[in-house]
Homo-oligomer: A and B are copies of this chain.
Amino acid sequence: MEGDPTLRLRVFDLNCWAIRYLSKRRQERVQLIGDVLRREGFDLVLLQEVWSERDYSDLKAKLGGCYPFSHYFRSGVIGSGLCVFSRFPILDTLLYQYSLNGYPYMLQHGDWFCGKSVGLVPAWGGHGRFALPSCQLHAEYCREKDAYLPHRLVQAWELAQFIRHTSKAADVVLLGGDLNMHPEDVGIRLLRGWTGLRDAFAEATRFEGCEDGCTLVPKNCFTVKSELLPFPLGIRIDYILYKAVSSFTVKCEELKTTTGTAPGMDIPFSDHEAVMATLCIRRQGQAADATLGTSEPMLADVVTEARTEVGVGLRAAQRQRYSTGRMAVLALLLLLVQAAAALGALAGLAAGQPFPKLSFSLLAFLAIGVLLLATGLHLFHTIEVKMLQGTEEQMRMALRALQERP
Protein backbone atom coordinates (compact mmCIF):
# COMPACT_ATOMS: atom_id res chain seq x y z
CA MET A 1 0.00 0.00 0.00
CA GLU A 2 3.04 2.25 -0.18
CA GLY A 3 3.06 3.18 -3.86
CA ASP A 4 -0.69 3.52 -4.27
CA PRO A 5 -1.97 4.94 -1.01
CA THR A 6 -5.39 3.32 -1.40
CA LEU A 7 -6.18 -0.36 -1.72
CA ARG A 8 -9.65 -1.28 -2.92
CA LEU A 9 -10.34 -4.72 -1.50
CA ARG A 10 -13.20 -6.88 -2.72
CA VAL A 11 -14.28 -9.52 -0.25
CA PHE A 12 -16.73 -12.39 -0.79
CA ASP A 13 -18.32 -14.30 2.07
CA LEU A 14 -20.73 -17.22 1.78
CA ASN A 15 -22.08 -20.08 3.85
CA CYS A 16 -22.06 -22.66 1.04
CA TRP A 17 -24.38 -25.27 2.63
CA ALA A 18 -22.40 -28.05 0.95
CA ILE A 19 -23.21 -31.12 3.04
CA ARG A 20 -22.61 -34.34 1.14
CA TYR A 21 -25.76 -36.41 0.55
CA LEU A 22 -27.92 -33.88 2.41
CA SER A 23 -27.70 -30.49 0.72
CA LYS A 24 -29.81 -30.12 -2.39
CA ARG A 25 -28.09 -29.73 -5.79
CA ARG A 26 -24.75 -29.46 -3.99
CA GLN A 27 -22.41 -30.27 -6.86
CA GLU A 28 -24.19 -27.95 -9.25
CA ARG A 29 -24.05 -25.12 -6.73
CA VAL A 30 -20.37 -25.65 -5.85
CA GLN A 31 -19.60 -25.52 -9.56
CA LEU A 32 -21.63 -22.35 -9.88
CA ILE A 33 -19.83 -20.76 -6.90
CA GLY A 34 -16.50 -21.64 -8.52
CA ASP A 35 -17.56 -20.17 -11.87
CA VAL A 36 -18.73 -16.89 -10.35
CA LEU A 37 -15.65 -16.55 -8.13
CA ARG A 38 -13.40 -17.09 -11.14
CA ARG A 39 -15.32 -14.62 -13.25
CA GLU A 40 -15.61 -11.91 -10.62
CA GLY A 41 -12.01 -12.07 -9.37
CA PHE A 42 -12.46 -11.00 -5.76
CA ASP A 43 -9.41 -10.36 -3.61
CA LEU A 44 -10.44 -12.52 -0.67
CA VAL A 45 -13.03 -15.27 -0.48
CA LEU A 46 -14.21 -16.66 2.86
CA LEU A 47 -16.38 -19.77 2.60
CA GLN A 48 -18.14 -21.75 5.31
CA GLU A 49 -19.85 -25.15 5.30
CA VAL A 50 -17.62 -26.64 2.62
CA TRP A 51 -17.81 -29.93 4.49
CA SER A 52 -16.34 -32.12 1.80
CA GLU A 53 -12.64 -31.91 1.12
CA ARG A 54 -13.32 -32.99 -2.44
CA ASP A 55 -15.48 -29.89 -2.98
CA TYR A 56 -12.60 -27.80 -1.68
CA SER A 57 -10.13 -29.56 -3.98
CA ASP A 58 -12.45 -28.98 -6.96
CA LEU A 59 -12.75 -25.30 -6.10
CA LYS A 60 -8.99 -25.07 -5.59
CA ALA A 61 -8.28 -26.63 -8.96
CA LYS A 62 -10.73 -24.31 -10.67
CA LEU A 63 -9.66 -21.14 -8.87
CA GLY A 64 -5.89 -21.70 -8.83
CA GLY A 65 -5.43 -19.17 -11.65
CA CYS A 66 -7.06 -16.17 -10.02
CA TYR A 67 -6.67 -17.10 -6.34
CA PRO A 68 -3.22 -18.66 -6.12
CA PHE A 69 -3.40 -18.97 -2.32
CA SER A 70 -5.94 -20.97 -0.36
CA HIS A 71 -6.39 -22.92 2.84
CA TYR A 72 -8.84 -25.50 4.16
CA PHE A 73 -9.22 -25.85 7.93
CA ARG A 74 -9.57 -29.40 9.21
CA SER A 75 -11.20 -30.11 12.59
CA GLY A 76 -13.79 -32.25 14.35
CA VAL A 77 -15.24 -35.44 12.90
CA ILE A 78 -16.67 -33.82 9.79
CA GLY A 79 -14.39 -30.83 9.54
CA SER A 80 -14.67 -27.12 10.22
CA GLY A 81 -16.13 -26.42 6.80
CA LEU A 82 -14.00 -23.27 6.59
CA CYS A 83 -11.85 -22.37 3.64
CA VAL A 84 -10.22 -19.26 2.32
CA PHE A 85 -9.12 -18.28 -1.19
CA SER A 86 -6.87 -15.30 -1.60
CA ARG A 87 -5.19 -13.29 -4.29
CA PHE A 88 -2.59 -12.33 -1.66
CA PRO A 89 0.01 -14.67 -0.20
CA ILE A 90 -1.22 -16.51 2.87
CA LEU A 91 1.56 -16.22 5.43
CA ASP A 92 0.42 -18.74 7.95
CA THR A 93 -2.71 -20.20 9.51
CA LEU A 94 -4.04 -20.79 13.01
CA LEU A 95 -7.16 -22.69 13.98
CA TYR A 96 -8.96 -22.11 17.26
CA GLN A 97 -11.64 -24.62 18.08
CA TYR A 98 -14.37 -23.35 20.38
CA SER A 99 -14.40 -25.11 23.71
CA LEU A 100 -18.16 -25.69 23.57
CA ASN A 101 -20.20 -26.54 20.52
CA GLY A 102 -23.47 -28.23 21.34
CA TYR A 103 -24.05 -31.80 22.47
CA PRO A 104 -22.84 -35.03 20.85
CA TYR A 105 -26.20 -36.71 21.54
CA MET A 106 -28.14 -34.06 19.60
CA LEU A 107 -27.48 -36.00 16.41
CA GLN A 108 -30.25 -34.19 14.53
CA HIS A 109 -28.43 -30.87 15.02
CA GLY A 110 -24.97 -32.21 14.30
CA ASP A 111 -23.05 -29.07 15.32
CA TRP A 112 -20.95 -31.03 17.83
CA PHE A 113 -19.54 -33.21 15.06
CA CYS A 114 -18.38 -30.26 13.00
CA GLY A 115 -15.66 -28.99 15.30
CA LYS A 116 -16.76 -25.40 14.79
CA SER A 117 -13.81 -23.09 14.86
CA VAL A 118 -12.39 -19.80 13.84
CA GLY A 119 -9.61 -20.07 11.30
CA LEU A 120 -7.11 -17.25 11.12
CA VAL A 121 -5.33 -16.52 7.88
CA PRO A 122 -2.78 -13.74 8.01
CA ALA A 123 -2.23 -12.50 4.48
CA TRP A 124 0.08 -9.97 2.95
CA GLY A 125 -1.75 -7.57 0.65
CA GLY A 126 0.20 -4.78 -0.96
CA HIS A 127 2.27 -3.44 1.89
CA GLY A 128 -0.10 -4.26 4.75
CA ARG A 129 -0.91 -7.36 6.72
CA PHE A 130 -4.45 -8.64 6.97
CA ALA A 131 -5.74 -10.88 9.70
CA LEU A 132 -8.61 -12.84 8.20
CA PRO A 133 -10.60 -14.79 10.73
CA SER A 134 -13.34 -16.84 9.11
CA CYS A 135 -15.82 -18.60 11.32
CA GLN A 136 -19.17 -20.15 11.98
CA LEU A 137 -20.93 -20.24 15.32
CA HIS A 138 -23.44 -22.77 16.66
CA ALA A 139 -26.74 -22.68 14.78
CA GLU A 140 -29.93 -21.39 16.37
CA TYR A 141 -32.66 -23.99 16.03
CA CYS A 142 -35.39 -22.35 18.06
CA ARG A 143 -35.30 -18.64 18.77
CA GLU A 144 -37.97 -18.74 21.49
CA LYS A 145 -36.32 -21.47 23.53
CA ASP A 146 -32.73 -21.36 22.43
CA ALA A 147 -30.95 -24.10 24.39
CA TYR A 148 -27.67 -23.32 22.62
CA LEU A 149 -27.53 -19.63 23.53
CA PRO A 150 -24.93 -20.11 26.31
CA HIS A 151 -22.73 -22.17 23.97
CA ARG A 152 -23.05 -19.56 21.23
CA LEU A 153 -22.16 -16.83 23.72
CA VAL A 154 -19.10 -18.76 24.87
CA GLN A 155 -18.14 -19.04 21.19
CA ALA A 156 -18.76 -15.32 20.56
CA TRP A 157 -16.63 -14.50 23.60
CA GLU A 158 -13.83 -16.87 22.57
CA LEU A 159 -13.98 -15.46 19.03
CA ALA A 160 -13.72 -11.92 20.39
CA GLN A 161 -10.82 -12.86 22.68
CA PHE A 162 -9.09 -14.71 19.85
CA ILE A 163 -9.39 -11.66 17.59
CA ARG A 164 -8.18 -9.28 20.31
CA HIS A 165 -5.11 -11.39 21.01
CA THR A 166 -4.16 -12.29 17.45
CA SER A 167 -4.96 -9.08 15.61
CA LYS A 168 -2.11 -7.01 16.99
CA ALA A 169 0.26 -8.15 14.27
CA ALA A 170 -2.11 -7.04 11.52
CA ASP A 171 -2.86 -3.71 9.93
CA VAL A 172 -6.43 -4.63 9.07
CA VAL A 173 -8.71 -7.31 10.55
CA LEU A 174 -11.46 -8.70 8.35
CA LEU A 175 -13.91 -11.16 9.87
CA GLY A 176 -16.31 -12.95 7.60
CA GLY A 177 -18.70 -15.66 8.54
CA ASP A 178 -22.06 -17.06 9.45
CA LEU A 179 -22.39 -15.94 13.05
CA ASN A 180 -25.90 -17.41 13.47
CA MET A 181 -26.93 -14.30 15.38
CA HIS A 182 -29.22 -11.41 14.49
CA PRO A 183 -27.60 -7.95 14.44
CA GLU A 184 -29.16 -6.88 17.74
CA ASP A 185 -28.41 -10.13 19.59
CA VAL A 186 -26.25 -9.93 22.67
CA GLY A 187 -23.53 -12.12 21.09
CA ILE A 188 -23.03 -9.74 18.17
CA ARG A 189 -23.04 -6.71 20.43
CA LEU A 190 -20.48 -8.46 22.62
CA LEU A 191 -18.27 -9.40 19.67
CA ARG A 192 -18.40 -5.93 18.13
CA GLY A 193 -18.06 -4.10 21.41
CA TRP A 194 -15.20 -6.16 22.77
CA THR A 195 -13.15 -6.20 19.55
CA GLY A 196 -14.00 -2.84 18.00
CA LEU A 197 -15.00 -4.55 14.75
CA ARG A 198 -17.39 -2.55 12.57
CA ASP A 199 -20.29 -4.01 10.63
CA ALA A 200 -19.84 -3.54 6.88
CA PHE A 201 -23.63 -3.40 6.37
CA ALA A 202 -24.08 -0.58 8.87
CA GLU A 203 -21.07 1.36 7.58
CA ALA A 204 -21.48 0.88 3.84
CA THR A 205 -21.78 4.02 1.74
CA ARG A 206 -23.79 2.11 -0.91
CA PHE A 207 -25.87 -0.99 -0.36
CA GLU A 208 -27.50 -3.26 -2.88
CA GLY A 209 -29.26 -6.51 -2.08
CA CYS A 210 -31.92 -7.98 0.17
CA GLU A 211 -33.81 -5.55 2.36
CA ASP A 212 -32.08 -4.92 5.72
CA GLY A 213 -29.09 -6.84 4.39
CA CYS A 214 -30.80 -10.16 5.16
CA THR A 215 -28.86 -13.29 4.25
CA LEU A 216 -31.48 -15.94 4.98
CA VAL A 217 -34.54 -14.89 3.00
CA PRO A 218 -37.88 -16.54 2.21
CA LYS A 219 -37.46 -16.00 -1.53
CA ASN A 220 -34.41 -18.27 -1.59
CA CYS A 221 -35.79 -21.63 -2.75
CA PHE A 222 -33.61 -23.63 -0.32
CA THR A 223 -34.62 -21.88 2.91
CA VAL A 224 -37.13 -23.54 5.23
CA LYS A 225 -40.10 -21.18 4.94
CA SER A 226 -41.69 -22.16 8.25
CA GLU A 227 -38.54 -21.12 10.17
CA LEU A 228 -38.70 -17.67 8.63
CA LEU A 229 -42.42 -17.10 9.31
CA PRO A 230 -41.79 -14.59 12.13
CA PHE A 231 -39.41 -12.68 9.85
CA PRO A 232 -41.16 -11.85 6.56
CA LEU A 233 -38.08 -10.04 5.20
CA GLY A 234 -35.69 -12.75 6.37
CA ILE A 235 -32.84 -12.50 8.86
CA ARG A 236 -29.29 -11.22 8.73
CA ILE A 237 -26.85 -13.72 10.22
CA ASP A 238 -23.89 -13.57 7.77
CA TYR A 239 -21.50 -10.72 8.33
CA ILE A 240 -18.40 -9.01 7.10
CA LEU A 241 -16.85 -7.09 10.00
CA TYR A 242 -13.62 -5.13 9.91
CA LYS A 243 -11.31 -2.82 11.72
CA ALA A 244 -8.02 -1.06 11.16
CA VAL A 245 -5.46 -1.87 13.81
CA SER A 246 -2.41 0.24 13.09
CA SER A 247 -1.93 3.34 10.95
CA PHE A 248 -4.64 2.47 8.44
CA THR A 249 -8.22 3.49 7.88
CA VAL A 250 -10.86 1.20 6.42
CA LYS A 251 -14.12 2.34 4.88
CA CYS A 252 -16.81 0.15 3.38
CA GLU A 253 -17.61 1.70 0.00
CA GLU A 254 -20.14 -0.82 -1.11
CA LEU A 255 -21.92 -3.84 0.27
CA LYS A 256 -23.94 -6.25 -1.81
CA THR A 257 -25.86 -9.41 -1.13
CA THR A 258 -27.31 -11.86 -3.61
CA THR A 259 -31.10 -11.78 -3.62
CA GLY A 260 -32.40 -15.32 -3.53
CA THR A 261 -30.61 -16.46 -6.70
CA ALA A 262 -27.05 -16.32 -7.97
CA PRO A 263 -26.48 -13.33 -10.31
CA GLY A 264 -27.98 -14.11 -13.71
CA MET A 265 -29.03 -17.66 -12.71
CA ASP A 266 -32.21 -19.31 -11.54
CA ILE A 267 -30.76 -21.16 -8.58
CA PRO A 268 -29.08 -19.67 -5.51
CA PHE A 269 -25.48 -20.33 -4.45
CA SER A 270 -26.74 -21.76 -1.18
CA ASP A 271 -29.57 -21.45 1.33
CA HIS A 272 -27.69 -18.36 2.56
CA GLU A 273 -27.11 -15.25 0.50
CA ALA A 274 -23.55 -14.26 -0.35
CA VAL A 275 -22.18 -11.04 1.14
CA MET A 276 -19.79 -8.99 -0.97
CA ALA A 277 -18.00 -5.92 0.32
CA THR A 278 -15.72 -3.41 -1.33
CA LEU A 279 -13.44 -1.93 1.28
CA CYS A 280 -11.24 1.07 0.81
CA ILE A 281 -8.05 0.78 2.84
CA ARG A 282 -5.76 3.76 3.20
CA ARG A 283 -2.59 4.39 5.14
CA GLN A 284 -2.89 7.20 7.64
CA GLY A 285 -0.14 9.42 8.97
CA GLN A 286 -0.52 8.39 12.60
CA ALA A 287 -1.33 5.14 14.30
CA ALA A 288 -4.94 4.67 15.24
CA ASP A 289 -5.65 4.07 18.89
CA ALA A 290 -6.75 0.61 19.88
CA THR A 291 -10.28 1.35 20.98
CA LEU A 292 -13.21 -0.72 22.06
CA GLY A 293 -16.16 -0.72 19.72
CA THR A 294 -18.71 0.57 22.19
CA SER A 295 -18.52 3.18 24.93
CA GLU A 296 -17.36 1.55 28.15
CA PRO A 297 -20.53 1.83 30.26
CA MET A 298 -22.57 0.40 27.38
CA LEU A 299 -20.01 -2.36 26.85
CA ALA A 300 -20.16 -3.21 30.54
CA ASP A 301 -23.93 -3.63 30.15
CA VAL A 302 -23.42 -5.96 27.18
CA VAL A 303 -20.84 -8.06 29.02
CA THR A 304 -23.15 -8.23 32.05
CA GLU A 305 -26.04 -9.37 29.85
CA ALA A 306 -23.88 -12.03 28.21
CA ARG A 307 -22.56 -13.16 31.59
CA THR A 308 -26.10 -13.57 32.90
CA GLU A 309 -26.95 -15.83 29.96
CA VAL A 310 -23.76 -17.84 30.46
CA GLY A 311 -24.78 -18.17 34.12
CA VAL A 312 -28.18 -19.55 33.08
CA GLY A 313 -26.38 -22.10 30.88
CA LEU A 314 -24.02 -22.93 33.72
CA ARG A 315 -26.85 -23.77 36.10
CA ALA A 316 -28.52 -25.95 33.44
CA ALA A 317 -25.21 -27.75 32.83
CA GLN A 318 -24.72 -28.27 36.56
CA ARG A 319 -28.21 -29.80 36.82
CA GLN A 320 -27.43 -32.14 33.92
CA ARG A 321 -24.09 -33.08 35.39
CA TYR A 322 -25.85 -33.91 38.65
CA SER A 323 -28.64 -35.97 37.08
CA THR A 324 -26.30 -37.95 34.82
CA GLY A 325 -24.02 -38.58 37.80
CA ARG A 326 -26.99 -39.82 39.83
CA MET A 327 -28.07 -42.07 36.97
CA ALA A 328 -24.57 -43.58 36.77
CA VAL A 329 -24.54 -44.24 40.51
CA LEU A 330 -27.98 -45.90 40.36
CA ALA A 331 -26.88 -48.14 37.49
CA LEU A 332 -23.75 -49.07 39.43
CA LEU A 333 -25.85 -49.90 42.50
CA LEU A 334 -28.15 -52.09 40.42
CA LEU A 335 -25.11 -53.92 39.03
CA LEU A 336 -23.73 -54.44 42.53
CA VAL A 337 -27.07 -55.81 43.77
CA GLN A 338 -27.16 -58.17 40.80
CA ALA A 339 -23.59 -59.26 41.40
CA ALA A 340 -24.44 -59.96 45.06
CA ALA A 341 -27.53 -61.95 44.03
CA ALA A 342 -25.54 -63.93 41.45
CA LEU A 343 -22.77 -64.69 43.93
CA GLY A 344 -25.40 -65.68 46.48
CA ALA A 345 -27.04 -68.05 44.00
CA LEU A 346 -23.65 -69.56 43.09
CA ALA A 347 -22.87 -70.13 46.74
CA GLY A 348 -26.25 -71.82 47.17
CA LEU A 349 -27.38 -69.19 49.62
CA ALA A 350 -30.41 -68.04 47.63
CA ALA A 351 -33.69 -69.01 49.21
CA GLY A 352 -36.56 -70.04 46.96
CA GLN A 353 -36.85 -69.59 43.20
CA PRO A 354 -33.82 -67.92 41.47
CA PHE A 355 -34.36 -65.23 38.80
CA PRO A 356 -34.83 -66.48 35.25
CA LYS A 357 -31.39 -66.35 33.65
CA LEU A 358 -32.51 -64.42 30.54
CA SER A 359 -34.16 -61.52 32.39
CA PHE A 360 -31.24 -61.43 34.80
CA SER A 361 -28.69 -61.09 31.97
CA LEU A 362 -30.80 -58.57 30.08
CA LEU A 363 -31.08 -56.45 33.20
CA ALA A 364 -27.33 -56.64 33.78
CA PHE A 365 -26.60 -55.57 30.21
CA LEU A 366 -29.09 -52.74 30.50
CA ALA A 367 -27.43 -51.58 33.71
CA ILE A 368 -23.97 -51.71 32.06
CA GLY A 369 -25.30 -49.74 29.08
CA VAL A 370 -26.89 -47.08 31.31
CA LEU A 371 -23.73 -46.91 33.44
CA LEU A 372 -21.47 -46.32 30.42
CA LEU A 373 -23.82 -43.81 28.81
CA ALA A 374 -24.47 -41.89 32.02
CA THR A 375 -20.73 -41.80 32.83
CA GLY A 376 -19.94 -40.48 29.35
CA LEU A 377 -22.61 -37.79 29.65
CA HIS A 378 -21.46 -36.92 33.15
CA LEU A 379 -17.90 -36.38 31.87
CA PHE A 380 -19.24 -34.31 28.98
CA HIS A 381 -21.34 -32.08 31.24
CA THR A 382 -18.39 -31.74 33.62
CA ILE A 383 -16.37 -30.28 30.76
CA GLU A 384 -19.33 -28.05 29.86
CA VAL A 385 -19.56 -26.76 33.43
CA LYS A 386 -15.81 -26.05 33.53
CA MET A 387 -15.86 -24.11 30.27
CA LEU A 388 -18.95 -22.09 31.23
CA GLN A 389 -17.37 -21.31 34.60
CA GLY A 390 -14.16 -20.29 32.84
CA THR A 391 -16.00 -17.95 30.47
CA GLU A 392 -18.04 -16.45 33.32
CA GLU A 393 -14.81 -15.82 35.21
CA GLN A 394 -13.18 -14.20 32.17
CA MET A 395 -16.23 -11.97 31.70
CA ARG A 396 -16.07 -11.01 35.36
CA MET A 397 -12.42 -10.01 34.88
CA ALA A 398 -13.36 -8.02 31.79
CA LEU A 399 -16.10 -6.20 33.71
CA ARG A 400 -13.70 -5.35 36.51
CA ALA A 401 -11.19 -4.03 33.96
CA LEU A 402 -13.91 -1.93 32.30
CA GLN A 403 -15.07 -0.51 35.61
CA GLU A 404 -11.55 0.26 36.82
CA ARG A 405 -10.64 2.29 33.75
CA PRO A 406 -10.47 5.99 34.45
Contact = CB atoms under 8 A, between A and B. Distances in A.
Interface of A: 71, 73-77, 79, 90-97, 99, 113, 115, 120, 122, 161-162, 164-166, 168-169, 357-358, 361-362, 365, 368-369, 379, 382-383, 386-387, 389-390, 393-394, 397-398, 401
A386 B76 contact: yes
Count of identical protomers in the assembly = 2
A92 B161 CA distance: 9
A170 to B, nearest CB: 8
A74 B387 contact: yes
B387 A90 contact: no
Contact of A75 (B79, B386, B394): B386
Given A168-B168, A357-B358, A75 B99 contact: yes
Contact of A92 (B91, B95, B397): B397
Given A74-B389, A92-B398, A361-B365, 11 more contacts: A74-B387, A75-B99, A77-B382, A92-B161, A94-B165, A96-B96, A97-B99, A113-B379, A168-B168, A358-B358, A362-B365
Given A379-B77, A386-B79, A99 B95 contact: yes
* Chain A contact residues, majority secondary structure: helix
A75 B161 CA distance: 16
A166 B169 CA distance: 8
A383 B115 contact: yes
A120 B165 contact: yes
5 contacts: A75-B383, A75-B386, A76-B386, A77-B383, A165-B165
A278 to B, nearest CB: 28
A240 to B, nearest CB: 21
Residue picked from A71, A92, A97, A390, most chain B C-beta under 10 Å: A390
A22 to B, nearest CB: 18
A377 B362 CA distance: 25
A362 B357 CA distance: 11
Contact of A397 (B93, B164, B369): B93
Nearest to A386: B74
A92 B361 contact: no
B401 A76 contact: no
B379 A91 contact: no
A97 B97 CA distance: 8
A122 B369 CA distance: 46
Nearest to A75: B386
B161 A94 contact: yes
A85 B166 CA distance: 23
Contacts of A361: 358, 361-362, 365
Contacts of A161: 92, 94
A351 to B, nearest CB: 23
A214 B311 CA distance: 44
Contacts of A71: 397
Nearest to A104: B379
A193 B246 CA distance: 28
A95 B397 CA distance: 14
Nearest to A96: B96
A266 B230 CA distance: 71
A151 to B, nearest CB: 15
Contacts of A113: 379
A162 B94 contact: yes
B390 A92 contact: no
Cβ-closest 3 pairs across A and B: A168-B169, A74-B390, A365-B365
Contacts of A165: 92, 94, 120, 122, 165-166, 169
A312 B359 CA distance: 48
A397 B122 CA distance: 13
A64 to B, nearest CB: 15
B95 A390 contact: yes
